[in-house]
Structure 1
Amino acid sequence: MTITQLNYVLAVAEHQNFTLAAEKCFVTQPTLSMQIQKLEDELDVKIFDRNKKPIQLTEVGRQIVIQAKNIVNESDRIKDIVDQQKGFIGGEFKLGIIPTITPTLLPMFLTNFINKYPKVNLVIEEYNTEEIIYKLKNGQIDAAIAATPLLEQDIKEIVLYYEPFVGYIPEDFRNNKVEIEPEDLDINDILLLKDGHCFRNGILNICKSSKTDPNRKFELTSGSFETLIKLSNEGLGVTLLPYLHSLSLNDIDKKNIIPFKDPKPSREVSLIYFKSELKSHIIDALRNVISGVVRGAIAFQDVKIISPKLKK
């Protein structure tokens, strides 16, 4: 049994296809298949049911994959120990980011990070929170930036900053207010991001009531803040934005930004990673760079953290 064979098994388990797994492992499909067959012969079991499409794990195969992940992680830890001893910060690092953070945070730290750590091949992938949790637990990404707390077993969280929600409220909906409170929000006036966005859950958790009016003329959810802002400008409702997103608005749209009274409802943004702490030296480097650039842009103290998970 070899680490290489276990990596091949994990690739097939992830992609459910021998050809695609071979491509991801940079080997030919016959080579990958032969090594997995040798492992199955050695163990005298079938890891995969090849008669099903897509390929499925057998019952014992599922148990083998769980153990294989642990073994591969521990072997990778040896490389981490050596890299840290040598002071080397490099190699591929897969970072997941939720969509409502990517457009504001990424431009703030990416250039700084790649200039400071040119030997790190940073692969950035955008996923919603549920996808990030799944991929972290299955070793498909090394770390992620997401709204927390998630309270997920085996996932560690390092808080990077607290980002207040702000109201995007055109004059027709403002009622002469210069600050708002959660009680001022009517769910029937609010334009929301589509399901799957934890920012949407945060808005619903802020609102006193999540019941919609059955006589409402229309209901729309969107995947982008830009669409929600344009609809608000047309008088079709209001929305909430992350504070950092509001900084990039044009001068006309900025006039529609209304802050919350203290304590400001806010999201906690963290660097999260699996408990094995693989590539911890790169995680520390990311945390230091991001904390350094964000500290100058956002410094709110009196905040109330809103859960990224929808209240039941």
Structure 2
Amino acid sequence: MTITQLQYVLAVAEYQNFTLAAEKSFVTQPTLSMQVQKLEDELDILIFDRSKKPISVTEVGQKIVSQAKNIVNEANRIKDIVDQEKGFIGGEFTLGIIPTIMPTLLPMFLKTFIKKYPKVNLIIKEQNTDGLIRNIQDGHLDAAIAATPLEVEFIKERPLYYEPFVGYVPPNNKLHKLETLNPEDLDINEVLLLKDGHCFRDGIINLCKSTKSFEDDHFQLQSGSFETLVNLSNEGLGMTLLPFLNTLELDEKKKLNLRYFNSPSPAREVSLIYHKSELKIQITEAIREVIASVVRGAIAFQDVKIISPITKK
């Protein structure tokens, strides 16, 4: 039994196809199939039921796959131990970021990180929160940046910063005359939201739920971008809420429509999340340190009230 064989088993279990598993493992299909068969012969059991399409994992195979994940992770940890002992920060690292954070945060820290840690090959992927959690569990992401808390058993959360919500209220809206906002001022029927599936949308719904009753049917007008929500607001279709960092790039005319909340300002917690196995933790810590240093000066708000995304049941 070898680590390579276990890696091939995990690939087949994930993709349920030998050809695709071989492609993702960067080997030929006959090589991968032969190694999996060799392991099955050695153990004298079937890990996969090849009679089904797609290929399925047998009952005993499920137990082997589960143990194989632990073994492969522990084997990878050996390299981590050596790298940490040598003080080496480098190699490939895959980082996921949710869509409502990627456009503003990435330009703020990426150039600084690359300059400070040139030996890290950083791969960035934009995914929603459910995708991040799934890919961290499957080992396809080394870490991710998301709105928290998530309270997932196998994930560690390290808060990076707390980002206040800011109201975008055009002159045609009744709240425009206010200098500052309170959550109680929001009319649930007039808040334009991102489309369903965005955790920022869930946070806004939670904010409104904390002050007034609501029905999901009220949210009929939804969009996939903050820019579109701002434009729709300007057309008289309502108001919207923006993450603070998204307001920094607005032109001066649009900034006149911003309304900040009275203290404590409702805000979202943005964290670096990663598997509890803490593989490649030295790179994870390097990313956390760089982001914290560049964002600290951009967000001057200190007194905030964290609004969590809605817990999915």
Q: Same fold (TM over 0.5)?
A: yes
Q: Distance in 2 between matches of 1:310 and 1:284?
A: 27
**Could you tell me how far 1:95 is from its partner in structure 2?**
0.7
Q: Do residues 221 (structure 1) and 222 (structure 2) align? A: yes
Q: Deviations over 1:171-215 (max 9, x none)?
A: 12125101111111111101111111110010001113352497x
CA contact (8 A) 2:90 2:117 kept: yes
Query: Which residues of structure 1 form unaligned runs of 5+?
Result: none
Alignment partner, residue 275 of structure 2: 274
Alignment partner, residue 209 of structure 1: 212
Matches within 5 A, 1:283-294: 283-294=284-295
Q: Deviations over 1:13-36 (max 9, x none)?
A: 222221221111111111011111
Q: Distance in 1 between matches of 2:294 and 2:18?
A: 43
Aligned residues: CA RMSD: 1.6
CA contact (8 A) 2:11 2:21 kept: yes
Q: Distance in 2 between matches of 1:162 and 1:74?
A: 34
Matches within 5 A, 1:65-214: 65-173=65-173, 174-207=175-208, 208-209=211-212, 211-212=214-215
TM-score by length of 1: 0.95
Matches within 5 A, 1:242-261: 242-261=243-262
Q: Distance in 1 between matches of 2:312 and 2:71?
A: 37
CA contact (8 A) 1:150 1:309 kept: no
Partner SS state of residue 10, structure 1: helix
Matches within 5 A, 1:39-58: 39-58=39-58
Q: Deviations over 1:218-265 (max 9, x none)?
A: 822111111111111111111111000011112222111111111000
Q: Distance in 2 between matches of 1:132 and 1:151?
A: 14
CA contact (8 A) 1:161 1:294 kept: yes
CA contact (8 A) 2:182 2:262 kept: yes
Q: Distance in 1 between matches of 2:193 and 2:277?
A: 36
**Could you tell me how far 1:118 is from its partner in structure 2?**
1.3
Q: Deviations over 1:110-142 (max 9, x none)?
A: 111111111111111111111111111221211
CA contact (8 A) 1:97 1:125 kept: yes
Q: Distance in 2 between matches of 1:112 and 1:175?
A: 38
Q: Distance in 1 between matches of 2:311 and 2:237?
A: 25
**Could you tell me how far 1:311 is from its partner in structure 2?**
8.0
**Could you tell me how far 1:284 is from its partner in structure 2?**
0.9
Q: Distance in 2 between matches of 1:97 and 1:243?
A: 17
**Could you tell me how far 1:99 is from its partner in structure 2?**
0.6
Most deviating of 261-270 and 47-56: 47-56
Q: Tell me the percent identity.
A: 70
Partner SS state of residue 261, structure 2: coil
- Read off the aligned partner of 1:296 and give its amino acid letter: G
Partner SS state of residue 180, structure 2: coil
Q: Do residues 303 (structure 1) and 289 (structure 2) align? A: no
CA contact (8 A) 1:170 1:233 kept: yes
Q: 1:58 to 1:190 in 2, by over 3 A?
A: same
Q: 1:212 to 1:153 in 2, by over 3 A?
A: closer
Partner SS state of residue 123, structure 2: strand
- Read off the aligned partner of 2:292 and give its amino acid letter: S
Q: Distance in 1 between matches of 2:269 and 2:182?
A: 19
- Read off the aligned partner of 1:19 and give its amino acid letter: T
CA contact (8 A) 1:190 1:237 kept: yes
Partner SS state of residue 159, structure 2: strand
- Read off the aligned partner of 1:72 and give its amino acid letter: V
Q: Distance in 2 between matches of 1:115 and 1:149?
A: 31
**Could you tell me how far 1:55 is from its partner in structure 2?**
2.1
Q: Deviations over 1:32-86 (max 9, x none)?
A: 1111111111112221222222222222222211111110000000000111111
TM-score by length of 2: 0.95
Q: Distance in 1 between matches of 2:276 and 2:216?
A: 44
Q: Distance in 2 between matches of 1:52 and 1:221?
A: 42
Size of the aligned set, in residue pairs, is 310
Q: Distance in 2 between matches of 1:70 and 1:311?
A: 28
**Could you tell me how far 1:310 is from its partner in structure 2?**
4.3
**Could you tell me how far 1:299 is from its partner in structure 2?**
2.5
